[in-house]
Structure formats: structure tokens, C-alpha cells
Amino acid sequence: MNLSQPNQDLFFPDQLSDDEALSRTTHLGIGAHQDDLEFMALHGILECFQQTENWFGGITCTDGAGSARTGPYSEFSDEEMKQIRLQEQKTAATIGQFSFMAQLGHPTFHAKEADKRASLTEDIKQLLTATRPTVVYTHNPFDKHATHIGVMLAVLAAIHELPLEARPEKLFGCEVWRGLDWLPDAEKTVHDVSGHPNLAASLNGVFDSQIAGGKRYDLAVEGRRLANATFFDAHSVDSADRVQYATDLSSLISGQQSLRSFMTDKLDLLSQEILDQFDTLSN
């Protein structure tokens, strides 16, 4: 494997050989930043935690240089933050029992700028080829963070460059910088993440550079999971303590439907649901 960035890092928590750790991967999370996987792809981590047949692998695409920082991290340089965030992500991979953790080390503009995205797409393609996962988790196309959208576009492009038989079976777009509670219920993929709450808290808390640096992601992510579980259904008791939503992007794996068409369909369904209810109740 020939990943493009000189600062890329491949980490194998249980010190298995590269080939074995990559090839046993069944669930793969691909996120923009250190901490995105733990916040958005917890379902995949829990599906594999302490299992022997299922293994979660992680890919973080960018180098962590642009993170907000105050307090104890306010004087840290971009280079220092890169190293801190690299190590935090390795710690999370160890706690979560990942099969591997790939930190690709791309600057954010490789994700955000279409004409600079080719090397990121190629790196993701190489790892998809080496892992052949059944399920992939990435950012959802309705996210408001430009780097997240760029990574999601790179993931789709990489999948479309693979032979049909080498593509994953399922692709989920997950919540980070925009929740998916607005999706009509029939369009939501509901991921129950109630299990191992202590593990989830540990994973959230690893990223001290972000939490002490000025963003309480640990509380916000937990709050969203709790709120999703309670507000999913107004007419029945909660069936799960913590829930994350995803949008099922699997129909895009074949390349026959455009992403724009997919997004427009979901937005039209929301609009129609809201207007239909209004018309029913106002007449």
C-alpha cells in the first residue's frame, strides 16, 4: 500500500500483521477528523467490540491542524496539535478494540476542494481494496461542515472506482455537524447505541484537546443520542436509551443514482410530510 501523505500513520492496536488486520475488517468508519468516528460511527464500534467475527477499522482523513483551541491548548502550534490529535486517535482505537486505525494526514483543502481531492480518494480506495468491508460509515450529505462533505464525496468516488464485486454492501451517512432527526421516520436508519455506555463515554473523553480546548463534544454527542431515543416516537415508550440516526446511502453504491437526486428526494419527502400534516389539520 502506497498512501500519499508523508505524515500518514497506520496503527494496529493488537499488533497483528498489516494484511491480517486489514483483511479481517467487516465494519469501516471513514471520518474527516480525529474524534469523528467515535462520535458518528459508534454503532459500528459496538457491533464489533469484544467480537471475534466482526472487526471495526477506522480511517481519519485530515491531519488535525485546524482545530479550535483555548485554555491549556491555546498556545499550541498546528504541528503540536497534529501530534496530540494523532495520539488521541490511537488511544481511542485501542480502547475501542479497532482492527486498525489509518490516519491519512491530508490537509483539509484536499477534502474541501474538488480539484485537490484525487489523492484523498486514491488513499481511501486503497484501504477499501485492502479491507473489503461489508458496512461503511461516513458523513451524511446534509452535514454543514465542508470538510465532512468533501470526505463523503471522496468516499463515494473511491467506491465507484472499485469493481462491483469489491464494493461494500451497506453505506451509512451519519450525524455530526447536522442531526438527522428531521428525516421522515421511514427514511431514518435508527442505530441503537445503548450498549456499553461506559465505553462510549471513554471514547468521547479521550479527545481532551478538543474538550479542554473549548468544545464540549463529549456532552453534546451524548445529549443528541439521548434526545434521539426519547423524541423518536411520541406515542410509545422508549425502546432504547441512546440512538443515533443515519441516512442509508446504499442506493448510491452502484453509481446509478446521483447524490444530488438522492438528496433532493429526501428534502422533498420532508417538505411533503410537513405540508400534508398542515393541510390535514387546518381543513
pLDDT of amino acid 75: 84
Integer-rounded Cα radius of gyration of the chain: 19
pLDDT of amino acid 72: 84
Kindly report, residue by residue over 220-256, the tens digit of the pLDDT.
999 999 999 999 988 888 889 999 999 999 999 999 9
pLDDT of amino acid 96: 98
Q: Evaluate if residue 80 carries a pLDDT over 80.
A: yes
Q: In terms of Cα–Cα distance, which of 78, 59, 60 is closest to 69? A: 78
Q: What percent of the chain has pLDDT over 70?
A: 99
Q: Is the pTM value of this prediction over 0.85? A: yes
CB burial string 38-50: b at 16+ within 10 A, e below: bbbbbbbbbbbbe
DSSP bridge partners of 139: 174
Lowest mean pLDDT among 65-69, 165-169, 264-268: 65-69
Q: Name the average pLDDT for the chain.
A: 95
Q: Evaluate if residue 64 carries a pLDDT over 90.
A: no
pLDDT of amino acid 1: 82
Compute the distance between CA of residue 246 and CA of residue 138 in angstroms, rounded to an integer: 9
9-255 CATH fold: Rossmann fold (3.40.50)
Domain ranges of the chain: 9-255
* Helical H segments across 24-117, by residue range: 36-40, 42-48, 78-95, 109-112
pLDDT classification of 163: cutoffs 50, 70, 90: very high
pLDDT classification of 278: cutoffs 50, 70, 90: very high
Across residues 61-87, what is the average pLDDT?
86
Kindly report, residue by residue over 81-138, the tens digit of the pLDDT.
999 999 999 999 999 999 999 999 999 999 999 999 999 999 999 999 999 999 999 9
